[in-house]
Structure 1
Amino acid sequence: MKKYYLLSKPLKKICTLQIFLFAIALSAQSESFECDFNAYLFQYNDIYAIDLASGSSFLVKENIVPGKINGAAYNSADGYLWGYTDSAPKSIIRIGKDFNTETYTIPEIPVTGMNYVGDISLYGQYYFRAGSSTYYHVDLNPESPTYLQYMGSTVLSRNIKIHDWAFNAADNMLYAVEKATNRLYRIEVETGEVEDLGEVPILAGNNYTYGAVYFDLDGNFYVSANQTGSVYVIREVQNITAGNINSNIFAFGPASASNDGARCPTAPVPQEDCKNGIDDDGDGLVDCDDPSCSGVASCPVTFTASTGNNGGLESNDRLANLISNRNYKRVKNNYEFDKTAALKVFKTEAYMKSGKHSPNNIPLNTLIPLDVIGESNTIESAPSDLLELTNASDIYAVDYLRDNETVSAMMVIKTNEKVYEHSKFICDRFLGAQLLSVSTIQLREKDFIKSIIKQPDGSLEFAISFSARLNEESKFIIESHWNIDSYEKEEAYYNFQIWSNSIDDLLSLAEEVLNLLESNTKIKDYKTSMPPPVFVKSAKYEKGQVLMNIVNNNKSENLTLEGGIKRTETSSTEIVGLTSTIDGYLDTVSLETGNMFDFGFRISNGNGDTPDDLFVADAPWGLDDSAENTNVMHYEVKVNQDTYWGDGYPIERNINLSASTSSYVGVYRALSPRFAAVDLSSYSTMSFTASGTGNLEVKLLKSNGDTYSSVVSLSDTERTFYLKNETFTTTAGGLTDFSDLKVLTFNLKSSSGAIEQKTLNLKNVEFSNAEQPRIFLDDDTTKSILSPNPVTEATFLYFFEDQSGSFELELFDLSGKRILSHSQKGTTERGQNRILINRDNLGSGLYLYRLESSNEKIWSGRLLVK
């Protein structure tokens, strides 16, 4: 792991650092491709390199020809890519490793429209077609006497609706999957004979266009769905007999339109072993996290999705305190969303009725899709506590259930002056989720951003967010962006957040939302932006550093980080930044921030692409002043000044509080940013240093709703308290350990029921196995003690005084000579005292000390220096 230090500086003076990442180097450019591992996706006249294992892609060449490219294929006979372009309808083009093109005119090619289906056999024979059953043949084998000649046409034995086909190197047969029927076909290219191998199980029920298909060395057939970008695998198609098809999801890539695929059919594709705990295919996903492991070994086919009742907090500078306040109230009240008690939502005759509502005042519940994903029930799950915390003026949410499990959820949020300030992909990462993938999904042939999120409980969710605003003609403009600041300002919005355990259900729900919007007024335009090619997969704060896992999809070479950091919950924001060089697809980076509370930042690559926004924070402190007749005069969270070197579990940051109350006032501290339970049962002691007024009640709140408390007495004098786990009890006397802790609370209560002044200074909260120190190191308080002794660097001289006063310490060598450099004077306090003696320039040997106090006490002894 690499470490970098984040400095607080004006952004004009951004610190430049170097980040060295591991990378798989691109092979050197040459005239031909020589069968590289990439798949190539042609979209209009742009070319993307696709890693089939991860689904990641990056643009390698824009505007390669004036028109569109289709019928693209890899030629094993010469190592080049070839394709058909509508800008020269009687020509084909050859593409080299440098992505420059050469055009070859072949006059006999019939002009029948765009030839969007094409591939080249192992022997250099190019077969391509448009929408009819007739396909055409051109010889592209440089060793052939008929090289670059038109070889005639053939008619398929049956008409099939396909959008790409590919040769399998294992049997030199063409294969294709038909739209709507999802049937797999094997084609004998010499005769045009079409063999129906049956419906592909993993594709059953889909109505996607499979515009890009590829093979690998083993005869595995990879099929990409245009609308979702999902890549499916059909295993060893050369061995398939009718109805015996082994298929699965393989990866989630970008959606595409007017597309085609090409890949060397004898190049392998890395495969994931689903049970060895290793990232075998290099996509950053291990075992069940990898889509290709769905249903394999012990990996589940589907997961449940999180409820809409937990969603919807804002992704801005107020995020951490808002989530803290909301989650504390839920933990304090032992709140849990009860699906069985939730109101059910039913489809009525008014569903999608046109002209029923004014476009600027649509009831949010009428924008909820119903009966489109085969749900058994739909229930209301709106988190009403968001209205008092966010910029929403109205919120409605539902969960879609199958067998009482949430499989999808959706929130509709109305805002009056700007877009809703929450992004699920930012907030969920803040709460411990991982962003596994970011790419596009197509709604009405427009690119929207989809993300794949792994929640802390292991569930996987596909998510999409977009917003609708009205233009001056009262027509909808649909906007979808990764960055909130990309949305049009000073506009009212209907905001939609949809997430599901199925990408197919996600697409269906999002498409139906657009239909429901259009039942009120037309959609005039779409304004969307692309997802960030470089993004943070996961991040967390821990003991003075932010740990980040970064995904670099487009092989960017530069990265800039800019943001604001707050050292505590109540401090102001510092502007910080750095620039760095990056390389490779995956890396783990440790950013040394020092002690902090939260850090919101933007990561931009050097290519001007969409940046990624992120928010990380430590578990929060919060103020509980909810009781009546409670008035807070001062509340401050203070940063730790010293680095923690212990072997326990420290609770960062300290508290200063002054208030008046007739009931109670307190502070709370979560154990994790998402208020999840933490197991600290390996520790037996909770310690803290505090001063203040009256009794301090310390409470442990557990995930099952149980609370345990212990009480200590505060005074004006600062004191360190050591509370064993057995000192925490319920009102009934029940005992506990430190397992399953969610929240700590420190409450000052009015003892009289009248208004009382309260103060609390609290610091150095820690869980450990430390024992409370004895009042004195030895039961004989007349003795002085050196510890450690012998001395290497420094030692402490301990002694006990009955009352405060002063002292004088002298040090002598064995000859009786006084060592002036080590004479000390100072004050003493009642109780145990200690004096630090540094070795400094003392040589090895034995020395004598004499200590005299103003209370007419004298101590002496020996000091051995190593």
Structure 2
Amino acid sequence: MKKLLHIFLLLGISTYAQDVPFNCDYSAYLFQYNDVYAVDLASGNSYTVATDITEGNINAAGYNPADGFIWGSLTSPQKSIVRIGKNFNTTIYTINELPESNRYVGDINTDGIYYLKGGGKTYYTIDLNPESKNYTQYLGTDNLSENINIHDWAFNAVDGNLYAVEKKTNILYRINPENGNVLSLGVIPTLAGLNYTYGAVYFDASGRFYVSANQTGTIYMIQKVQDLTGANAMESNLFAFGPSSASNDGARCPTAPVAQEICDNGIDDDGDGLIDCEDPSCSGYSGCPVLEQSTASSGNAGGLESNNRLADKISKRNFNRTKSSYKFDKSTAKLVSKTSLYGNMATSRGALQLSDFVPLEVINEDVVIESSPSDLVGITNATNVYSVDYIRKDEAVASVLVLETTSGVYEHTKYICDRLLGAELLSVSTIEINEQQFIKALIKNIDGSLEFVLSFSVKTINNGNEYGVESHWNLDKYEDNVGFYNFQIWSNSLDDLILLGEETIRLMEIVKPISNYNNSTAPTVFVKKGTYHNGLLNLEIVNTNKSASVSFDGGLRTTETDVLDYVSTRIDLNGNYISTIDVDAGNLFDIGFRIGDGVETPDDLFMSDGPWGYDDAAPSTEVTKYTVETNYDAFESDEYPVERNISLEATTSEYIAAYRALTPKFNPIDLTAYNSLKFKAKGTGTLIVRLVKESVENWETQYKTSVSLSADFSEFSLPFSEFESSNGSPLEVTDITSLVFTMLAENGTEETKIMDLQQLRFSTSETLSVSSVNQDELLNPIAVPNPMQTRTIIHFTAQQSESVTLAVYNQMGALVREIPFQAKAGKNEILLNRSNLASGLYLCKVQSKITQYKTTKLLVN
């Protein structure tokens, strides 16, 4: 009897586990084949909540207010529907009156009546109210008053009607479920001109209608559809960027609210990490610009690296552009026009060119101009480069950059680098091209402009007869040691992005058939933005799938000439959607790292500080020594540090120069909060110091001053007023890109030139001064106060982070106290309490494996 009771208890528990309703939770649920995704309509972010929950594919999904479950129609078994619980257990019911297939539109009203249809006018009704005597029974068949091409409909709990959007026409329809009467409410303004399938639609408690486009994942919102008559104005706008999908359907409790962003209060009202105008839902509202009005960046500025292998060459390329005052001039750029050979160039001409893959006349552009950054060839792994900018109303709206590589994928993607340089990754999800999902990213650039970004690469396969397409977030997912055509496409419009992507793939297929796609999923945990300052990486992490923690694995270099060190740690996120965390990375020049939860695609980032480099372009110049080292001294809180010191030696009969960019891409910095440049230096002869302004086009009129160096270090404080231009204009430090330090050979004869530069920083001081520096003082710890009564602090400067020990000896040389201490690079303080120390003289020694510090005498009263 006990055994039978035990079995009954287990059965009861199992039945209960299968009967957990959703009970009107706030998520929207997207069904794709037989997988389920939870979608946050406010942010558009989604994550997988269940996979392979049924044998057949699920469509026509709807939330049932009568029982709290989600129901859907199945492809297998035929003529079946399915009930889905919150734990994604399923129960299948056969409805013999249903057709065997073609059932992909469905939703359930407040009384539990399921309205189900496919193509054509016919729709079917099924009773899904568990209190009804007809529960799970077929009720009848009706017909719509007109045939409309829709792929989902949803009940509005405010008025009890069904609503849907027609493909191609983008007309919003109201459908009376009782009699099938169809009323056109007009074209949705935000969707006008688009050609998408709207396979997932949802409502909220206020009667706002949310429409998701399959191909782009974009979510649009129409306000209070119950108030529309077909004659009055319709208010609609872009709402969020979600995942693309196919064979899909959406379900959501229609009486659950959706958080709304208030667009002018400086608060993240809807909890998606975006405030006011940066939130897509504010596009065109409360003074916010329409999201797609910003200017896209030029392809001429694209293509910089995503690792540290080429940092010195990339920085020299940028310096040469700065020195020559290079600026891409779109007004003089070569026009690219569509010819009769477009789409058939390779076979007609017999020689394939990168321009053959570039779309033309697909996004309603006014003109297309060539913008190829040809100076990437030779300093990256690209062997051939071609890019164009698409111009509309004299502004760039999109760019396509094509790079040919012969051994591996091109080593840069736009979204890897820019987030730690002031840009932000607002969202990352997917778009659909040729029924394949590609990762799309929405990036807010440093200048505030917005760009949608798509990257993929194409290689030859099957003995060169076909193409294979690869698209990955992580560069190490691409096949090694093969050649690729690498495509980077960005636009200020997501709709234009997908058109350019589709046409690029079509142009590839004209040359060779594409027989294989190998695409990765988008990361669900990613860094939205980050900064590096004083040894700390500050990261804002978006955690769409509620991971408890992520791993952090990276490689960093402390200076431009140092070797790579590897770091690894664990970051707790506690399931929070947004987390701001600090990672102690120590002083560094660059770092590449990965965060991931071990389940979904990890996120990769690369950050470089503004680089040091040298200009040895003069034919007679030969650099014999060049090292970059970490700053030993700490900076004051009111100073702008220019990190790392350099030591440079060269022979020349002309000149040698060292430069330091303030940002990795030589972007301008506003230094109006500061008044002077300070540094320590020693060397041979005169050092010319330039503050390079972005707005100055002629190198000879850049602002400069000079100082005399000697064999010993001196501290220099140079007010900005000391820097002069040959044009006589006073210096305005609103757009400083770099510092350049130049030494000239006297009388054109060969000389050895030496410069050692340390502790560069911009200061609020306005005093011109030069003072000698005793380098030995850096190795001499100081006790303050000395003599001490009850306590003192030992001050010392460490060259880098390390574990040290403060050892205290009495006059007889006996060790009386040891204090372990974790030193950081720069200034450090160790507290020494008197405790049981008797009055007298003591010797204090900071013991280090790296630095030989001097002994400090301490008097205890």
Q: d(CA) in 2 for partners of 1:530 and 1:692?
A: 55
Tell me what 1:39 maps to.
Answer: 28
Q: Determine if contact 1:430/1:673 at 8 Å carries over to the other structure.
A: no
* Paired residue type of 1:402: R
- The 5-angstrom pairing of residues 73-84 of structure 1 reads 73-84=62-73
TM-score normalised by structure 1 residue count: 0.86
Tell me what 2:588 maps to.
Answer: 596
* Percent pairwise identity: 51
Q: Determine if contact 1:552/1:586 at 8 Å carries over to the other structure.
A: yes
Tell me what 2:642 maps to.
Answer: 651
Q: Determine if contact 1:357/1:520 at 8 Å carries over to the other structure.
A: no
SS in 2 for 1:556: coil
Q: Determine if contact 1:684/1:737 at 8 Å carries over to the other structure.
A: no
Deviations 1:619-641, CA, capped at 9 Å, x for gaps:
22111112221000000010112
SS in 1 for 2:230: coil
Residue of 399, 413, 417 corresponding to 1:409: 399
Tell me what 2:717 maps to.
Answer: 722
Tell me what 1:505 maps to.
Answer: 496
Tell me what 1:781 maps to.
Answer: none
Deviations 1:767-812, CA, capped at 9 Å, x for gaps:
1134467989xxxxxxxxx99999887799xxxxxxxxxxxxxxxx
Q: Does 1:765 align with 2:765?
A: no
SS in 1 for 2:307: coil
Distance 1:842 1:93, change over 3 A: closer
Q: Does 1:739 align with 2:734?
A: yes
- The 5-angstrom pairing of residues 206-285 of structure 1 reads 206-243=194-231, 244-285=233-274
User: By how many angstroms is 1:30 displaced?
Assistant: 7.2
Distance 1:788 1:627, change over 3 A: farther
Q: Does 1:465 align with 2:460?
A: no
Tell me what 1:153 maps to.
Answer: 141
User: By how many angstroms is 1:430 displaced?
Assistant: 4.3
- The 5-angstrom pairing of residues 24-423 of structure 1 reads 31-111=20-100, 113-243=101-231, 244-301=233-290, 302-353=293-344, 356=347, 362-423=352-413
Q: Determine if contact 2:18/2:90 at 8 Å carries over to the other structure.
A: no
Q: d(CA) in 2 for partners of 1:690 and 1:549?
A: 38
Q: Determine if contact 1:698/1:710 at 8 Å carries over to the other structure.
A: yes
User: By how many angstroms is 1:357 displaced?
Assistant: 5.9
Q: Does 1:515 align with 2:499?
A: no
Q: Determine if contact 2:716/2:769 at 8 Å carries over to the other structure.
A: no
Distance 1:789 1:101, change over 3 A: closer
Distance 1:85 1:627, change over 3 A: same
* Paired residue type of 1:374: N
Deviations 1:4-58, CA, capped at 9 Å, x for gaps:
xxxxxxxxxxxxxxxxxxxxxxxx9971111000000000000000000111111
Tell me what 1:779 maps to.
Answer: none
Q: d(CA) in 2 for partners of 1:765 and 1:106?
A: 78
Distance 1:297 1:839, change over 3 A: closer
Distance 1:319 1:37, change over 3 A: farther
Unmatched runs of 5 consecutive residues or more in structure 2 = 1-16, 773-782, 795-810, 814-830, 841-857
User: By how many angstroms is 1:580 displaced?
Assistant: 3.4
Q: d(CA) in 2 for partners of 1:276 and 1:30?
A: 43
Deviations 1:105-162, CA, capped at 9 Å, x for gaps:
2222233x13100000011110001112100000111222222211101000000000
Q: d(CA) in 1 for partners of 2:82 and 2:153?
A: 19
Query: What is the aligned residue count?
Result: 775
Q: Determine if contact 2:715/2:770 at 8 Å carries over to the other structure.
A: no
Tell me what 2:705 maps to.
Answer: 710
Q: d(CA) in 1 for partners of 2:605 and 2:835?
A: 54
* Paired residue type of 1:411: L
Distance 1:491 1:795, change over 3 A: closer
Q: d(CA) in 1 for partners of 2:730 and 2:120?
A: 78
SS in 1 for 2:336: coil
Tell me what 2:446 maps to.
Answer: 456
| Deviating more after overlay: 118-127 vs 623-632 | 623-632
Q: Does 1:475 align with 2:466?
A: yes
Residue of 607, 622, 630 corresponding to 1:631: 622
User: By how many angstroms is 1:558 displaced?
Assistant: 3.1
Q: Determine if contact 1:354/1:519 at 8 Å carries over to the other structure.
A: no
Q: d(CA) in 1 for partners of 2:311 and 2:770?
A: 40
SS in 2 for 1:138: strand
| Deviating more after overlay: 500-509 vs 700-709 | 700-709
* Paired residue type of 1:714: L
Distance 1:732 1:245, change over 3 A: closer
User: By how many angstroms is 1:464 displaced?
Assistant: 0.5
Deviations 1:511-544, CA, capped at 9 Å, x for gaps:
1111111221211121111111111111221111
User: By how many angstroms is 1:93 displaced?
Assistant: 1.0
Distance 1:86 1:595, change over 3 A: same
Distance 1:794 1:561, change over 3 A: closer
Distance 1:322 1:56, change over 3 A: farther
SS in 1 for 2:438: strand
Q: Does 1:617 align with 2:612?
A: no
Tell me what 2:804 maps to.
Answer: none
Q: Determine if contact 1:313/1:322 at 8 Å carries over to the other structure.
A: no
Tell me what 1:751 maps to.
Answer: 746
User: By how many angstroms is 1:326 displaced?
Assistant: 2.3
Q: Determine if contact 1:541/1:617 at 8 Å carries over to the other structure.
A: no
| Deviating more after overlay: 161-170 vs 279-288 | 279-288
Distance 1:529 1:324, change over 3 A: same
Q: Determine if contact 2:717/2:770 at 8 Å carries over to the other structure.
A: no
- What's the RMSD between the two structures over aligned residues? 2.7
Deviations 1:317-357, CA, capped at 9 Å, x for gaps:
22543442222222222221111010111100010127616
Distance 1:159 1:787, change over 3 A: closer
Q: d(CA) in 2 for partners of 1:530 and 1:638?
A: 40
Tell me what 1:441 maps to.
Answer: 431
| Deviating more after overlay: 37-46 vs 517-526 | 517-526
Q: d(CA) in 1 for partners of 2:306 and 2:466?
A: 28
Q: Determine if contact 1:188/1:194 at 8 Å carries over to the other structure.
A: yes
Residue of 666, 672, 675 corresponding to 1:684: 675
TM-score normalised by structure 2 residue count: 0.86
Residue of 404, 422, 427 corresponding to 1:432: 422
